[in-house]
Structures are given as C-alpha cells and as structure tokens.
Amino acid sequence: ALQPGNQPEVARFNLLNSPQQKPEVVVTLRGSYAKATDFQVGTWYRFPMLVASSLKLQPNFLNPQNGKSLVIEFTIPKDCMNAGYIEGLSWFAGEEEYLLPPYTAAHCTAITNHHTATGTYPKVQFLVAKDNVAVEQEFESQGATTADSAPRAYTSRNSQRLRMPTAAMYKLCN
C-alpha cells in the first residue's frame, strides 16, 4: 500500500512504472483469501490488480478466522521488469514490499505447505515473468489457442496455460 504524502502523484507513477531491475533473485510472500485448489501447477496466470508482497511473512498476513489462510510466494527473477521495490513509498515501513503491476504474468511452480509458529498453511508458489511481453509473444509463437475451460486463457502446444483473471485471482490480490 502506498502512503499518501509529499511526492507528487506523477513522480510516484513514474517511479512505479520505470524498470526497476533486481540485481538478484528475490522471494516475497503475502497472505490471500484464495484457495490452493484455485490454482494448478504448470499454469501461467495474470493478476488483475496491483499485488503487494513482502520479503517477510508478517503476522497480519494470515487470519484463518476471516478466511485469509493461503500463503502466496513469488520468486522474482534477476533483472525482472515486472516488480518494483516500494519500501520508500509504502505506508507499512519495514515490510520491505515489492509491487507487481496489474496483469503481471506468473507461472505456478508448486503447491506445498508453509509452516509457521501458529500452524501449517497451504502455499502456492509462483515464478514472476521477467518480461510480460515476452510471455505473451512466446505463447503466440507456439500457436496458443483459447482454452474452453477458462475464458481468455491460452494453451500452448506443450499444454502450458496463460490464464486471464478469474474470481480466484481477485481474491489473491486482496
């Protein structure tokens, strides 16, 4: 979440939209209302909204009493053009947040469990695309076709899918 403040909105927008390439691989986490069963390993997804995640899983990220019990892990590759480090702009100082812009593509690599002091939670792991345009071009070059089971999802010849936003994706973002 961006803090209101001293910087003009245009400067803030420019900072978030400028390529902020990472010098190394970064792994971030967030809690989610989505369910692990909403995702499929081997499938590419696009997130319909801004998605903030942190280098550390904060205690308030999970709240099983209100349905927020899924851990989402993002691996942000070196030189990724889809994630911005927003610690200096974040309302939540110390969370070391990264922000993914709307429609960022990410590949679901695993569905496992995440162990914390308060319990074990399902975890969905994603590899964030280094470049959104390259992902789309790759699917098109492989003869991707629209999949019947998911509106505006693409299935390539090697059976990978690029799914556009579904209700589960909106839950992931909240």
User: Torsion-angle region of residue 6: left (phi > 0), alpha (psi -120 to 50) or beta?
Assistant: alpha
User: Which three-class secondary structure state does DSSP give residue 12?
Assistant: helix
The predicted pLDDT at position 156 comes to 38
The predicted pLDDT at position 133 comes to 80
Q: Kindly state the helix (H) or strand (E) to which residue 30 belongs, with its residue range.
A: strand 26-32
The predicted pLDDT at position 42 comes to 87
What is the pLDDT of the chain when averaged over all its residues?
A: 73
Pick out the chain residues at pLDDT < 50.
1-2, 6, 9-10, 13, 19, 145-161
The predicted pLDDT at position 137 comes to 73
The predicted pLDDT at position 49 comes to 85
The predicted pLDDT at position 151 comes to 29
- Structural domains of the chain sorted by starting position, each given as residue range(s) with its CATH number in brackets: 9-173 (3.90.176)
**Burial class of 16 by CB neighbour count within 10 A (0 to 12, 13 to 18, 19+):** middle
**From CA 126, how far away is CA 73, in angstroms rounded?**
6
Tens digits of residue pLDDT in 45-87: 888 888 989 998 777 777 777 777 889 999 999 888 888 888 7
The predicted pLDDT at position 158 comes to 40
* Phi then psi dihedrals of residue 48, to 5 deg: -75, -10
The predicted pLDDT at position 124 comes to 95
The predicted pLDDT at position 126 comes to 95
The predicted pLDDT at position 28 comes to 94
